[in-house]
Amino acid sequence: MKLELIRQNKLKITLDKEELSSYGVNIENISKNSDEAQNMFFSVLRRAEAEVGFVYANSRLVVEAMPSSGDLVIFVTKVDNEAEQRLFDRISSRQKPPKIDFRPEQHRAYDHDESRTSYMAELGSFDDVVEMCHAVPTYFGGTLYSHGDKYYVVVGAGMEKIVAEYGRILDESAQCLIEEHGVPVIYRRTFDIIRNRFKV
């Protein structure tokens, strides 16, 4: 078992098949919310509190679970105030998100295309999203998605050069895949909401 405190409010848990089996759980039935799955989840959270300081009592928890190379990876995010709860209301537990296989050319800098009305940037962490939003105090739009442990921001044409400094611009086909399979977090007002609720 691997426990990683990504931020004070976000924990990453990695369990292999043998560890899941010891709790009577497997990747196929984890989504059924059985007694075994709940017992496993809270047992792991108690261990995380003792080992890495992830205090979860009296907090609303948003959980994302996905298989990864035979292991199960679980992201647990604490949502402790009303503003954050509204921000993360669009996030739900997702088992087995579709695998998106990006080709290398989909991560090239970007090709300006006069016909495109929006661009999507892939960012490695939520901290990168916060930093990017604060760097552009006059922009108020943008839609934010999450998929796996990455974040994706859609901006209007004309913003692509700025967001390319903080993430990789995806081509239109990859953008469509994320918009279809990613978890919507904030609609249309990402830059405004993030600047007002999160400090750099």
Confidence band of 170 (pLDDT split at 50, 70, 90): very high
pLDDT band (50, 70, 90) for residue 157: confident
Name residue 9's amino acid: N
Q: What is the pairing mode between strands 60-68 and 2-7?
A: unpaired
Q: How far apart are CA 37 and CA 72, in angstroms?
A: 12
Q: What is the pLDDT of residue 129?
A: 94
Note if the pTM is more than 0.85.
no
Write out the H or E segment, with its range, that includes residue 67: strand 60-68
**Residue 1, helix vs strand vs coil:** coil
Dihedral over Cα of 37, 42, 46, 49: its sign: positive
Q: Percent of the chain having pLDDT more than 70? A: 78
Residue 3: how many CA atoms within 13 Å on its side-chain side?
A: 14
- 100-153 per-position pLDDT tens digit: 333 333 333 445 456 678 899 999 999 999 999 999 888 888 999 998 889 999
Task: Work out the angle at residue 39's Cα, subtended by the Cα atoms of residues 37 and 42, and round it to the nearest 5 degrees.
Answer: 105
Instruction: Please state, in angstroms and rounded to a whole number, the distance separating the CA atoms of residues 166 and 170.
Output: 13
